Amino acid sequence: MKRSPIYLIYVLFLCFSCTDEPDLILRENTTVELHQPWISSSPESVELDGRLINIAKSEAGKLPRMRSLLVIKNGYLVSESYFNGASRNTLFDVRSVTKSIVATLTFIALENGDLESLDKKMTLSPDYSLTADQQEITFRHLLSMSSGFEWDEWTSDMYAEWVTNPDQIQYVLDQPMVNTPGSVFTYNSGAVHLLGHALATEVNETLEDYAMSNLFTPLGIQEVRWEQLRTGPNSGAGIQLRGRDLARIGQLYLQEGYSGTSTLISANAIEDITSPKFDFRSTFGKVSGISYGYLWWTIDSQIDAFLAWGYGGQYILVVPSKNLVVVATTDWTFLSAEGGPADLERSVLDLIFKNIVNQQ
């Protein structure tokens, strides 16, 4: 995915007022110090159509399950809305956005020298034994959803069966190997949980501690909750973050790994993570050209973009050519009783593209 560098000098023209987040005239190509508070500005100051932003907020507000919608342009917070009792301080359970964070941690470990190679074979704690086929699974296979296990969590109750199992790791290992690792894309939250466990084994630290010291604290993220399973934090889903903190992760990717003049993850790593790894291109609502990178979804049709995507419409959408990050969260609980998450996910993504991304 081609995109130009944006790591230039971060320039702030502060106007003094009673708030620590004043309204500013914005400049393009700024690199935000991500541990600092967000600075707000109007949509018009970054050449966004405020009328369309208001339409997006209105449409979002009509969705009974909508919780938040944030828009960041040129590194500045230009719109922030919360719905149905949520607020700036709400911790949102963003489901599979967790996977994209685990991918980030994996590449940070690689660049820190804590992980030898993406082609290193998966090593779990001594409690688990791998078959000969499973011993061929590498970190790269787990990152690309191509571990080879038989798995179906989109049209069956397999995710619920997995997450409620007394041993979530053994449950995955007990599934048949039906494909050669690396050959076939199969969406598999359980395999990403193996990735988190294997990564913790490599860095010799809990996944939560490694994430806090190497990602969250440098980004200024102070409060994180992570769904705990018997076999450790759920690496496939269940992390909880505030809307503004989800935006920090998106902005880190937009800034090609920079926070101010510091680098948390390299531009090459972000390029690798957010480049398609498969030939398939899917259409979902108004968005086409959707494929998969390393635990991030990619778009390369109408516009080059990539997104962390969680069950029920949890999104961190990054559009490099527009210097844009959009965060959306919803209440995903009990969606299965209403026919599943697809309609809500489509509605949220469509309103983002129609009124924010595709502004003329």
Name the residue among 169, 181, 195, 183 with its Cα closest to residue 99: 195
Per-residue pLDDT of the chain (360 residues; tens, 9 = 90+): 444 444 333 333 333 333 344 444 444 556 999 999 999 999 999 999 999 999 999 999 999 999 999 999 999 999 999 999 999 999 999 999 999 999 999 999 999 999 999 999 999 999 999 999 999 999 999 999 999 999 999 999 999 999 999 999 999 999 999 999 999 999 999 999 999 999 999 999 999 999 999 999 999 999 999 999 999 999 999 999 999 999 999 999 999 999 999 999 999 999 999 999 999 999 999 999 999 999 999 999 989 999 999 999 999 999 999 999 999 999 999 999 999 999 999 999 999 999 999 996
Domain with CATH 3.40.710.10 in the chain: 91-241
Q: What is the pTM of this model?
A: 0.93
For domain 91-241, the CATH superfamily is: DD-peptidase/beta-lactamase superfamily (3.40.710.10)
SS3 69: strand
The residue to which tokens 């990050």 are assigned:
325
pLDDT value at residue 28: 55
For residues 258-275, one letter each, b for 16 or more C-beta atoms within 10 angstroms of the residue's C-beta and e for the rest, the string is bbbeeebbbbebbebbbb
Q: Where are the alpha helices (DSSP H) in the chain?
A: 50-61, 97-112, 139-143, 158-163, 168-173, 189-203, 207-211, 243-254, 267-273, 342-352
The Cα 266–Cα 25 span in angstroms is 29
pLDDT value at residue 33: 97
Phi-psi region of 359 (alpha: psi -120 to 50; beta: other; left: phi over 0): beta
- 225 CB contacts (<8 Å, ≥6 apart)? 91, 239, 240
Helix (H) or strand (E) holding 315: strand 314-319
pLDDT value at residue 215: 98
The Cα 302–Cα 288 span in angstroms is 7
| 240 in Cβ contact with 98 (< 8 Å) | no
The Cα 118–Cα 192 span in angstroms is 14
| Secondary structure in 3-state letters for 278-300 | CCCCEEECCEEEEEECCCCEEEE
